[in-house]
Amino acid sequence: MSLPNPSKGWRSSSSRLLALYSFLFVAWSCILMGVLYYEVSDYLGNLARHSLMQRQHLFARFEGEQLDEALATSMTFDMRAVDAYGLFDEQHKPLSGPIQSIPQGLPLDGQIHALSSCIDSDDPNLPQDSCDAVATQTPDGRWLVLVRDNGSLFAVTRIILHALIWGLSLTIIPGIAGWHLLRRRPLQRIRAIQASAEAIVAGDLTYRLPLSNRRDELDMLAAIVNAMLDRIELLMHEVKGVCDNIAHDLRTPLTRLRAQLYRMRQQAVEGSPEALQLDEVIGETDTLMARFRGLLRISELEDHQRRSGFLQLDPLPLLQELYDFYLPLAEEGQVTLKLETPAALPGLTGDRALLFEALANLLSNSIKFTPPGGEVILRATDDNGSPRIEVLDTGPGIPEAERVAVFQRFYRVDDKHGGFGLGLSIVAAIVSLHGFSLEVNNRESGGAWLTLHCRQSLINPG
């Protein structure tokens, strides 16, 4: 069984919390920047209109030649391309000033208006873009147009905007770096915990979750799980010890009982009722002893002591030997047995005798449950660098509700074909010992489809 990888994408809690914090920080900074920009822009706009209103009131005090002199003098102090004026007669013909025509869209009502396009002129000293403008009539009937460019004042807002953007970017970059560094540490610890959990899930209860010196939340959780594992391991050993002792203790008296029954059978008259009853009792005794042998076999495999005999082996000769061994059995049951393998297969690490036993159980079950005239296929393929061995038949298949239960001890799908219900339990123990996985499905055309994935999930099966 493989545990999910916690290091991909946004699965870790630290990554999500840090990303959420970064998002909220950026969102709040953008809102703050927008409010500040709006407030500054509004303030500078009001300041520009107030300044233009003051100029209008100042020039309204003059008339005739005094107005001409005041306007000419103001050009000395006005900023070029920011402030400009134009003096026109009653027919709107220019008299003096840089502005030679009244801006389009400017009402002659003495009120300040905002224009999106100020003065259409090639003179770089005149405001070209947005501006505030006012047209007022002097006491002698002439028209005075005053213009103030907004660009120079709003340059301040652009400076503020650029400063905020730079500040935000300089905050985001260290934030991303800190997010990456802060999430690496928990993920490294999670990977270490996962490595130990993989071995525990595979059946080795001697592993424990690693602890650090920080004694944080992860260490508290790991300590709780380790205490649970200690208790589970103790209980498992106690239960296993009781079962093993019962099996060992009963095997000897059962062997003696069978021997005595056999001697009595030898003394009985052939064909007598006593002889027939003794044959039935001896058969039941043999069945009981076979069950005890199966239980002891499963106990031996689940103890994981056979890993010391693991070797690197080629599965092709093993599959060929299986095929040759079960071909006569298939022919006897009028079942077609096929072997489908490529020219070469990746090697695997394991115990050859145990793998032969597991595959033999699968193959013999398929032959046993396939009706005469059916077909059983033993197939092997290369699954991304590891062997994948499949057993397919045309039998009744395995109901979906029973695909997990068939690996339990003493479970049988039906009683028609006999057996003790221990064969697939032994297969499951061998598969777990090797760190492989066994997949149970049915073919679309009918029949069972068993797949042994020989990709080891253990860190170190040896």
Which structural domains are found in the chain, ordered by start?
1-201 (3.30.450.20), 217-302 (1.10.287.130), 306-453 (3.30.565.10)
DSSP letter (8 states) at residue 140:
T
Return the closest-CA partner of residue 310 out of 278, 272, 353, 339: 353
Helical pair 273-302 and 217-267, crossing angle rounded to 10 deg? 160
> What does the pLDDT read at residue 1?
46
Q: Which is nearest to 222 in space by CA: 239, 209, 231?
A: 209
Angstrom CA distances, 403 to 248, 390, 431, 437, stand at 31, 16, 16, 14
Alpha carbon distance 146, 136 (integer Å): 9
Q: What is the Cα 391 distance to its own chain's centre?
A: 32
Interacting residues of 104 by C-beta distance below 8 A, sequence separation 6+: 117, 120
**pLDDT for residue 420:** 45
pLDDT score, position 290: 67
Q: Say how many C-beta atoms besides its own lie within 10 A of residue 301's C-beta.
A: 24
**Angle value at C-alpha 257, between 252 and 259, nearest 5 degrees:** 95
- Name the helix (H) or strand (E) containing 381: strand 375-383
* Distance in angstroms (rounded) separating the CA atoms of residues 157 and 284: 98
Burial (CB count within 10 angstroms: exposed 0-12, middle 13-18, buried 19+), residue 415: exposed
Residues of the chain with pLDDT under 50: 1-2, 7-9, 415, 417-420, 458-462
Count other Cβ atoms within 10 Å, centred on residue 112: 17
3-state DSSP percent of the chain in helix, strand and coil, to 5: 55, 15, 30
What's the pLDDT at 458? 45
C-beta atoms surrounding 423 within 10 Å: 21
> pTM of the predicted model, to two decimals?
0.45
